[in-house]
Amino acid sequence: MTPLFIIMLGAPGAGKGTQARLLSETLGLPQISSGDIFRENLKNQTPLGLLAKTYMDSGALVPDDVTINMVMDRLSRPDCANGAILDGFPRTLAQADALDKALATVGAQVSKVPLLEVSDEAVINRLAGRRVCRNCQAMYQLEFNPPQVAGKCDKCGGELYRRADDESDTVRNRLFVYYKQTAPLVGYYFAHGVLLSLNGARAIEAVQADLLAALKAA
Ligand code: AP5
């Protein structure tokens, strides 16, 4: 079976994590979120987590060498043998190039790159109301996808928190960084014939249905 490596692309708050998690359940492939790995390291106060924090707090990208090593290590684990859904990586042309080279060594390649298109205003609004479960990382949005009991996760009862980098000035800087360093990947993957542009401004379930249909048709 050809391994399936899918990269979720889009601005901060476009819904990459939300869609990757659903797709991971449907396809039975691991979801690999570079942001979640950094946050897990920070929770455990590892040197990697403490280093990443100095960049994440301002919305800047963690340096390529650190990020590439971390994600390659994760991709080398046995659960990625049939592929993976990458969420938040790659985010620079150097990271995309490193990924292509690493996959080529095992006879694999990037399969498809869904791009979630959402306006800047919509992502700013979404991130202002995002809440995440401290325990299971389930995601909520106070307006569009609120928890049943305020401050508590529907799935595990864990405490919901607001990410430090969802503060509005940091969100604006994350958007700036996205346009400067990550948006060039749209052209890169278009040129490779693997880009799938999707309207990410619809309801979560509608975007997921569009995503599955686009992957099937491709
Ligand atoms: P990371 O955690 O990857 O953050 P991000 O890319 O900014 O993406 P987000 O998690 O904010 O948004 P998302 O697109 O996943 O949307 P979500 O599904 O959560 O990275 C954080 C930091 O880590 C970076 O700033 C950087 O410092 C560092 N980092 C990570 N990867 C790196 C890399 N490769 N290189 C260097 N540094 C790296 O949804 C957002 C909200 O909207 C949620 O509340 C959700 O419930 C809601 N929502 C989702 N879909 C919809 C919808 N259709 N309608 C309404 N609401 C929706």
Tell whether 151 is covered by a domain: no
Tell whether 128 is covered by a domain: no
pLDDT digits (tens, 9 = 90+) for 8-46: 999 999 999 999 999 999 999 999 999 999 999 999 999
Tell whether 38 is covered by a domain: yes
Does the annotation mark 131 as catalytic?
no
Structural domains counted in the chain: 1
Tell whether 78 is covered by a domain: yes
**Ligand 1 in reach of 126 Cβ (< 6 A):** yes
Burial of 160 (0-12, 13-18, 19+ CB in 10 A): buried
Does the annotation mark 163 as catalytic?
yes
Model confidence, pTM:
0.96
**Ligand 1 in reach of 125 Cβ (< 6 A):** no
Tell whether 83 is covered by a domain: yes
CATH, residue 56 = 3.40.50.300
Q: What ranges make up the beta strands (E) of the chain? A: 4-10, 31-33, 83-87, 110-117, 130-133, 139-141, 160-161, 195-199
Tell whether 171 is covered by a domain: no
pLDDT interval class at 2 (50, 70, 90): confident
Q: What are the structure tokens assigned to 158, written together?
A: 């864990």
Altogether, the residues listed in the chain come to a count of 218
pLDDT digits (tens, 9 = 90+) for 102-138: 999 999 999 999 999 999 999 999 999 999 999 998 9
**Ligand 1 in reach of 74 Cβ (< 6 A):** no
Tell whether 84 is covered by a domain: yes
pLDDT interval class at 203 (50, 70, 90): very high
User: Which domain covers residue 192, as residue numbers?
Assistant: 4-119+182-217
Tell whether 158 is covered by a domain: no
